[in-house]
Structure formats: C-alpha cells, structure tokens
Chain A
Amino acid sequence: MRRGLGRLAAVVCCLLLAACAGGRARHGGSNTVSFALPPSATPNWILPLAIPGYTASYNGVIQSALFVPLYAYDGSSGAVGMDQQASAANPPVYAADGKSVTITLKPLTWSDGAPVTSEDVQFYLDLIRAAKDDWGAYTKGLMPDNVTGFHIVDDHTFTLTLDKTYNPGWFTANQLTLITPLPRQAWAHDPDPRKTFDYLVAQAKNLGGYNTDPLWKVVDGPYALESFSPTGQVTLAKNPSYTGQDGSHLDKITFLTFTSSAAEYNVLLAGGVDYGYVPTTNLGQRPKLESMGYKVQPWNGWSITYIPYNFNNPALGKAFQQLYLRQAIQHAVDQKAISQVIWRGTASPGYGPVPQDNDPTFLSPQQKTNPYPFDLDTSRRLLSDHGWRPDPDGILACREPDECGPGIAAGTRLSMTLLTESGSDETDGTMQELKSELSKVGIELRINAQPLNTVLANGTTCEPTSPACAWQLSYFGTQGSWYFPAYPSGEQLFATDAGVNFGNYRDKPTDDLINASTLATSPQSMVDYSARLAQQLPVIWMPNPPYQVSAIDASLHGVVQDPMAGLQPQRWYR
C-alpha cells in the first residue's frame, strides 16, 4: 500500500512543483529567442524544394530564414503585398506584351563567398523542370512549364520568357514566389539536373546529416543552421556572411517541439518559451500570462481549413465522388458550434476555397452564405434518397446500387477512417464532434490520430492501386490547412493533378476557372471559382482556426504576425 500511496504523493508533488514553476519567469533577457512550434510538429525538411509530405509551414519558415526566396510576400500590413526586404530580387519588370519578365537580383552572397547570380536561379528552374512530377508545387501547365525561355542578361539580371500573357500580379505572387536561388557552385552534384535533384532530396531526407553535411552550410539568408536535432529542435544562428538588407538583430533562434499543446503550455507557464502559444482551452488564463510578461495576441491566417476526401481510395473513392454524399457529410458539420465552443470563438466558419475573414475581394455570395448549413435531417434524407439503408449496427450500407451511384457496390458501408493530427485539444474535440454528428446520420467515422508529419506523409496523392491510397480522409488543420500565397487561387490545391491536391479531385470546370484566374486581371474568375467549389465540396470545409493565439515575451520587439504564416525573426529585437 505504501508504494501505491507513494505514487499518489509523487503525482501531487509533481503537480505542486509544476504549479510553482508557473510563477518563475525565465523568458527574455538575452539576445536569443525560443519559438514554440505547433503541437506534434517536427521540422523535417530544409531543402527549399517542395516535396510532397514535407510541405509543412514550419519547414518553410526555416527554409526562408536560410535561403532567400526570389520573392516574398507578407500580409502583416493588413493587405497582402510584396516583402521587398525579404526578397532576393528587385520587383520584376514585365514586357509590354506581358510575355516576358526581367528580374534583377540584389547583391546577395552565399556563405562560401560566392555571389548569388542569375545562374543560381537557372539552376533552380533546371532542377524543378527535370523532376517536376516529384516537385510538390507542380501543376501541369504552370511553373516551370510556363517558362519557355531563360536568358541571362548578366550575373544579376535575367529574363524569363513566358508561354502566354499572364496576370502579372498573379504570376509574381503565385509563380515567381515558388523560385528560390540555390547555390549552384556547391550543390550541382551532377551535370544531369535530374540526378542532382534526386541527390539533394536524398540528402535532405537524412535528418542526421543536417548538422554535418557541407551542403547545408552554404546559405544566403539572414541565418545559418547551427543545430538540427532529429527530434525536431532546430537552432538557427545569425549568418555572419549575410550581405542583404534584412540582417538579423538576434544572435540565435531556437525552434522547440512539443508533443501536445498542453505540454507547450506547461513550458510556457514555466517561462521556457519566448514566443509560444496558448491553447484556446486556456484562454481564461490570459491575465496570468500577461502578469508573467507575455503579450497575448491572436495570429489570424490567410488560410482555409478542410478535410480532403481521397477520391482514389479503393473502398470509398467512388462514394466520395458522389456530390450528394459530400453534401450529406457537409450538412453534418456544425461549424458554428465548433468555432464557438471548441475553439472558443477564435476560429471562424469556412464554406469554400478562398479565405473568408480577410479581404472579401474574391469571396462569392455562395461561399459567404454557406450553401450547406448544419442540418442532420437534410443529411439523412440525401442518403436515404440515394439507396443507403442502415445495417443492424446503425451504419448505412448501399442497398440500391443504381441509386447509390456508379461504381458503388451493394453492401458498401459508410464507415470511414479519418487520419488526423494529434496533440491538440481543439482538434481532438473537433474530431469527436464530427464523429458524433456523423454517427447520427449513419456514418461511422474512425479517428486515427498521428503526429502531423505522419498525417502529411500518409495523406498524399496516390493511385487507386497503390497501398499508399488506403487513407480516406485526413485533417492537418489545427493551425489552418493551407496558407495561400498572395492570390488565393487554386492551382496548387484543386487543379487536376496539382501537387497539393491530396485527394485527387478532378473537375474540368474547376480547372477552367483556375486557369482563367491565372490569366485575367479581373477578380471575376476567382469569385466564380469560390462559388463553384463552395457548391461542389471537393473537401469537407471546416472552421478556420487562427494560426495560433500567441504568447510573446513583452521584451521582444519587432514581431509581426504575418497572416501568410511567414516568420521574419531577423527583424525581432530586444
């Protein structure tokens, strides 16, 4: 008995010690900053080439600190615009006919002493052209297909020839931002760009090599990689060789990883984080945090949140292709309640493919007014009208295959697995709510919670015959599923065969609208695109949470919470 009671006493002591530690302020006071990464998120990619499964926003934050993108945008001013300080080139100059663009690089230098030149941009384009099917940002017909010529004017100036006249604003914001000059002199492993691409990807997958591989020592950004733990903790140090105009005020920034938001919050209370976040379940403790020297600020995103259907899943892909089924599922999502109760009002309902709570320029009336409000009766009726009848256990099964839809076999049951990210109380609650409401209409939802990297790695595009196509639904939206570039167009998300079209959604009218949005300067095609996908439901639209509710050390200045989820730690100072 003594042993059992001893354990109880130990638990009580631990809780008391943790509570006492809450009052101990350790954050602040030095020229280094600790930044808390999202729950269960561990950086696993620093190569600035998007590869499916490695496109998490926190990877992008580290990449842009090490490698300066050709063009960067941010929305910190309230409107999304170019961040010239964080860009490797001066604003592009388009030809009068719009079919070419001339770009001049700024005088940046790689940390091995070599200058950043036009050839470094060409090197990048050669790599993604040679391996475009493996490049996560690829969409057929767009970058790099739409660049038909590369002409080097001099070391710092080059001209891209385009296959047609694009909307210049879109092309700069959504295409040129995909390019990052790479250190050709250090990374050109083989004359064949395909082999070099494969080599770089292989090296990048070796997380243990990030600390020692000379490849990762050559950077041109305001930071250099000091250490990279396979468990995800990353420390960046000020790059002494940086020659741009956006140098770091801080000596170091450390990205900390946590298995859950609760674990992060405990460390935050103990003063172990300079820039962390507050789980919305703990928002009642705001005064306590403020008394500890933290500023508490929501970080809203230029984003949407959704659950992709895997239209190629052998078991349920054909069912997901039926609009009535997607409508029935969407009718069972109580977005208002989830936003207000589970997210405590910090999330906002989202009904379509463009961000709803920021600039309304592209928002259609259909998306704005929610074509499929929470209505379980309508949901049930849609399913019963199409041949789905409950089995003895209450789960619906297809009993009238002619009514269920083509390719759906008699006896197919609406029992689906949702692969979701772990570690967040809000996401756990959302999933329980979803499971609960769907069960009321006869749909069984099995929840499989995994770390975010696992969800992203497993829930990618796949062929129906591939074992990788076993996933049916996936959720990676605890901090928003997708953060847009300046134009919230869908060429990466919902265009046929697009790199981030994880669910393999295919719809010709959608493709046409996406194409039109990339060419026209008028917003109408974007509005039409918003309307169509609000009605077609290529995914389950979910409430869009803030990127996070931040707790920032009050002595840390210069912090701007970019709605595009970018981070500019080089501008922070004490």
Chain B
Amino acid sequence: MTTIALPTRFAVGSNRLATAGAVILGLVVLFCLAGPLAYHSDQVHTALDAARLSPGQQGHPLGTDDLGYDVLGRLMVAGRTSLAIGVLAGLLATAIGAVWGALAGYAGGWLDAVLMRIVDTGVAIPALFLLLVAATLVTPSIPVLSLVIGGVSWLVPARLMRAEAATLRERDFVKAITVMGAGRLRVVFGHLLPNAVGTLVVAGTFQIADAILLVAYVSFLGLGVPPPATDWGAMLSKSITYTYDGAWWLILPPGIAIVLVVCAINFVGDGLRDAFAARGRA
C-alpha cells in the first residue's frame, strides 16, 4: 500500500506572493524558452562593428555588449542556461538528499550516525569552495555544472528528510507494513519518500533557487559555461567592468533577472510550504 499526502487544494492560489511568484516564474520561463522564437538574434557570432550600442540603437532594444551580442537575445539564451542548471541541480540535490536522509532516518542507530556525520562534515565545507575546485578540474557545461552543484547541495535536503523519516518511522502505517514483512528499501522508497513529498517539494523549490544563485556565483568568478554560451551570472560578471562607463543596460537586465527568478521561486516555495502545512493541520 502506498499512501501519499497531498494538500487538499492548491493553496498557492490563496497566497498572493506565491501566485505572483508563479506568474513571474511562468513569464520568465516563457521569455527564455519561447522568446527566441519571436525575437531573433545571433548569439553565436560576435559583431565587433556593433559593440557596446546603447538601447534602441540599430534595432537592439536592450543594446549590445562588448562583443556586439544583442543583450535582449542574450538574456533569453543565458536564462535557458541558468534555469536548466538550476532545475537540474535542484532536482538532483533534492533526490540525493531525500534518499540519503530517508535511509538515515528510517535505519537509525549507527547507520544514521555515520550518514549524518558525513552530512555534518559536508556542511562544514563551503559549497562555493567545492564548486570552484570542481570547475577548475573539469570543463564547465550544463550537465557538468548541474552535477557539481547538485553534488554539493544535497546536504540540507538530507537533513530535512532525515527528520521527516524519523517521524514517519514511528507512524502506525509504517509499523504495520513492517510487521507485514516489507523490506527496508520498500519501506523507504514505497512509503517514506511518498509521504514526505510535501517536504521534498518545498525543499526542491528552495534548492532550485539556491542552484540558480550558485551558478551565478561560479559564473561571476569566471568559471561558468564557456562562450559563446552564457548564463545570467556570466553576463553580470562581464558587464560589471562597464559600471563606470554608464553601461547600465549590460548590468541591470541579468541582475534583475536573477533577483526576479530567485525571489519568484522562493515565493512559490513559501506558498507550497504553507499549503502542505495546512494539509498537515487538517
């Protein structure tokens, strides 16, 4: 028997911030994925004869950067990279953390102690440091950065899931299926994880937001995806040198995009958390 606890209604709709977050997120995703279909720009070839044009010049609504790339088009392409890495890394981190935490919480005893001390050790090492080391060892790409960021971000979900699993372990339905002869893995994957879906969904949204910020950090430090690919952090990093030149159109768009998306995902996460909490109280 599998039991899954879901909110009785989509509580996001009753939370204004969450609704706003969902709308913003939807618009940004639409902008990044469908935008290039409506707004065509060459994001592969440089155009030095059109470098550093201010907004509105020569048909570039948001101007061009130092190599002549159209900023509006680049914002779309960069957004794809940031969102792809964010979603993949966030899901990976949540998945690893969920399994790790569930095993620790359900098993208890020495296995719980060993698994969670590993988590404690990992938390003590700054994720950014690990990311920089990894990014210098391998050539960054979307899959690589997703793996690396996901690989260093699963610790917090593991802690959350471990606490959830330790609680669920004491519930009657878990004891019942254990008495009926269910194996440990079946209990963990068939019952604990599905019943912790609320915790996992909320953790996953925060992980996605964190991963988008992390990839921005890494790219800001020059270790992001190699050009001509780009992401919002890389755009911001390149643009920041033009601060004193007054080239606001290079700095504000990627900066605003990062802030918008991270805030929107966090709003959605908050809404989901409230929704699942309401379900728990019901």
A binds B: yes
In residues 227-266 of chain B, which contact A (Cβ within 8 Å)? 227-228, 237-238, 240-242, 244-245, 259, 262-263, 265-266
Q: Are B241 and A433 in contact (CB under 8 A)?
A: no
Q: Could you say which residues of chain A place their CB within 8 Å of the CB of B237?
A: 262
Contact B263 A5 (CB under 8 A): yes
Interface contact B227-A260, CB-CB below 8 Å? no
Q: Is B206 in contact with A341, judged by CB distance below 8 angstroms?
A: no
Is the beta-carbon distance between B241 and A422 smaller than 8 angstroms?
A: no
* Residue A466 CB within 8 A of the other chain: no
A4-B210, A282-B241 as given contacts; A429 in contact with B45, CB under 8 Å: no
Name B's interface SS.
helix
Say whether A337 faces chain B, with CB atoms less than 8 Å apart.
yes
Size of the A side of the interface (Cβ < 8 Å), in residues, is: 38
The CA of A288 and the CA of B245, in the complex, are separated in Å by 12
A428 B227 Cβ-Cβ under 8 A: yes
Cα–Cα, bound, A488→B213 (Å)? 50
A447 touches which of B213, B226, B263 (Cβ 8 Å):
B226
Question: Using Cβ atoms and an 8 Å threshold, which residues of chain A touch B45?
Answer: 436-437, 439-440
Number of interface residues of B (CB under 8 A): 32
Closest chain B residue, CB of each to CB of A15: B240
Whether a CB of chain A sits under 8 angstroms from the CB of B44 is: yes
Q: How far is the CA of A423 from the CA of B221 in the complex (A)?
A: 10
- Taking a contact as CB atoms under 8 Å apart, the answer to whether A4 and B266 are in contact is yes
B46 within 8 A of A: yes
B48 adjacent to A432 (CB under 8 Å): no
A508 at the interface (CB under 8 A from B): no
Task: Give the residues in chain A near B265, CB-CB below 8 Å.
Answer: 4
Answer whether residue B101 sits at the interface, using C-beta atoms and an 8 A cutoff: no
Residue of chain B at shortest CB distance from A433: B46
B209 within 8 A of A: yes
Total A-B residue pairs with C-beta atoms closer than 8 Å? Answer: 84
Which residues in chain B, 32-52, are within 8 Å of chain A measured between CB atoms?
44-46, 48-49, 51
A260-B238 Cα distance, complex, nearest whole Å: 12
Measured between beta carbons, the chain A residues less than 8 angstroms from B67 are 342, 429, 432-433
Question: Is there contact, CB below 8 Å, between B48 and A425?
Answer: no
Given known A260-B222, A334-B48, A436-B228, contact A282–B244 (CB-CB < 8 A): yes
Does B262 lie within 8 Å of A8, measured CB to CB?
A: yes
The answer to whether B242 touches A281 (Cβ under 8 A) is: yes
Would A4 and B227 be within 8 Å (CB), given that A282-B244, A439-B44 are in contact? no
Which residue of chain B has its CB nearest to the CB of A280? B241
Interface assignment of B267: CB less than 8 Å from any CB of chain A: yes
Q: Tell me whether A4 and B262 are in contact in the complex, defined as CB-CB below 8 angstroms, given that A282-B244, A284-B244 are known contacts.
A: yes
Q: List chain B positions with a Cβ less than 8 A from chain A.
A: 44-46, 48-49, 51, 66-67, 139, 206, 209-210, 213, 222, 226-228, 237-238, 240-242, 244-245, 259, 262-263, 265-267, 269-270
Sample 15 A-B pairs with CB under 8 A, ordered by A number. Answer: A1-B206, A3-B206, A4-B213, A262-B222, A281-B66, A282-B241, A284-B242, A338-B48, A428-B227, A432-B228, A433-B48, A435-B227, A436-B228, A437-B45, A447-B227
Q: Which residues of A contact B (CB under 8 A)?
A: 1, 3-5, 7-8, 259-260, 262, 265, 279, 281-282, 284-285, 288, 334, 337-338, 340-342, 422-423, 425, 428-429, 431-433, 435-437, 439-440, 447-449
Given A1-B266, A281-B242, 7 other A-B contacts at CB below 8 A? A3-B206, A4-B265, A281-B241, A342-B67, A429-B66, A439-B44, A448-B139
